[in-house]
Chains A and B, each alone.
Chain A
């Protein structure tokens, strides 16, 4: 018993991720935490997307289930689980069954290397970014399988479209990533890294986020990645695979109930995954703004208040809306529920002011805040842009982003070389 406790507590002093330290217990805990966090994030994202989109479109969005529709995603999840699971008679059973599993597995496995903080990652791999790109590209297989196994025209066309799209944008994405990786090698030893944690530490060491590095080269690479990642996840304006007015729902037209919800889960977690790649590579990962300039005790203190303040702000919004709720007996339960939610958020916020917690939570907070910014962008795109046509999409991928990516890569390499020569002279 004592040995087990010691085994568990021995990790607490380590400065490595549980995967690297080889501590099975903490690795398991982290996996569970990431899984839970991801599920909560997807649920929250579902509600937020509907709400934000609705408010962009002068609607209210879900309002019925729970206060301001807060329980809507849960109601949806229950509905999806209880729904009949339909499989087309002519479908290829095994492949039909496998496809959503592959997509979900690919979408979740990438989170193994996502660094939420210097030690807050399940593991740190030497080939971290390569692993992420590779595993997320596996979801193409699931999509193709789903479209083919449905044995129906619309899903097949949708699957071919989305896989062609994902394969072509992966190229541009890869080039942008390579130019960022190139920047990690600009240190005195001249050794770069593919590890996700290493990339963030390189940004820390060089004193700037890679988006500002070699201005505007980093920015252009980031832009290429930002466009390609929307295309990778089949979201508007690149959502032709799911173009409702043309192909009903694309590759998952024939899916229903639980399997459909797996695709849904995979889509949102893939969005979070690519956003976290972008955050890690260009926006400094878990680093708070100005980690080097504003170091020292006063600013450290101020920045450590941020997570708590954010939660208190959310709680304040809840209370504000509680006051605005209609004063009618019918709304009493909803009002109490909203107030209770506000209290929970407020308590979480208060706990985050407690120094040991605030120190540990800070990295995760900054990382999540940056990812949340990307999530908002996704929703914003969806509310603003019309849909591209397929040939225009391909043109954009191959004729605009690819040459741009190559150019940025060559220029980055050139500038890096020049800087190194000057450095040595």
Chain B
């Protein structure tokens, strides 16, 4: 039987992280960019929990909870900005976000 070791989790986390990075860098839709950021955060969380399992402590899990909190805050603010932006410019394309003030 194959043992799932920490390394497996880490590789999975890295792959997720990469997917997130690709999403952030290439997509135009702001909503999808925000979702890609969530992917990145999740990859980090996975690593944290996997390490916490590896060392047998719970610090990693506590940190994961903090990261989830931050993700919630980030999503709320990001989506708030998005709505304000959409109301003014009627678009959700990140290319067209080129003004700091309008």
| Contact between chain A and chain B defined by CB under 8 Å | no
- Residues of B whose CB lies within 8 Å of any CB of A are none
- Residues of A whose CB lies within 8 Å of any CB of B are none
